[in-house]
């Protein structure tokens, strides 16, 4: 099971959980698993977001692999950053 950290602004969609455990071999699969448990999470996260897998931040990384022991953080996309 991978651990998913829910951003504070999205916890309202996840019964106020800070962390949840899901199965999933990729960011895409993890997202689908969270959305299956808490319908509406995916929509609330929106199209542009970044993700941190074990501390490494990725932009645009829907298909990045996620190991079973990994911790995944969904982050609002970094606006600017230039």
Residues engaged in binding another protein (CB under 8 A): 5, 7-9, 46, 52, 54-61, 64, 71, 73, 75-76, 78-82
Please tell me the distance from the alpha carbon of residue 71 to that of residue 1, in angstroms, as a whole number: 10
Q: To the nearest whole angstrom, how small is the minimum distance from the Cβ of residue 38 to another protein?
A: 16
Measured from the CB atom, the residue of 33 and 51 that comes closer to another protein is: 51
Measured from the CB atom, the residue of 55 and 69 that comes closer to another protein is: 55
Please tell me the distance from the alpha carbon of residue 81 to that of residue 16, in angstroms, as a whole number: 29
Q: Which one, of 50, 58, 57, lies nearest residue 79 by Cα?
A: 50
Q: Which sign, positive or negative, has the C-alpha torsion 77, 24, 70, 63?
A: negative
List residues bridging with 3 in a β-sheet: 21, 71
Measured from the CB atom, the residue of 29 and 77 that comes closer to another protein is: 77
Q: To the nearest whole angstrom, how small is the minimum distance from the Cβ of residue 77 to another protein?
A: 8
* Tokens encoding 66: 């996620």
Q: To the nearest whole angstrom, how small is the minimum distance from the Cβ of residue 44 to another protein?
A: 8
């Amino acid at each position: 099971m991978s651990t998913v950290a829910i951003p504070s602004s999205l916890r309202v969609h996840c019964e106020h959980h800070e962390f949840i455990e899901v199965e999933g071999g990729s960011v895409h699969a993890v997202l689908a698993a969270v959305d299956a448990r808490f319908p509406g999470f995916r929509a609330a996260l929106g199209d542009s977001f970044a993700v941190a897998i074990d501390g490494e931040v990725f932009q645009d990384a829907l298909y990045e692999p996620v190991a079973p022991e990994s911790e995944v953080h969904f982050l609002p996309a970094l606006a600017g950053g230039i």
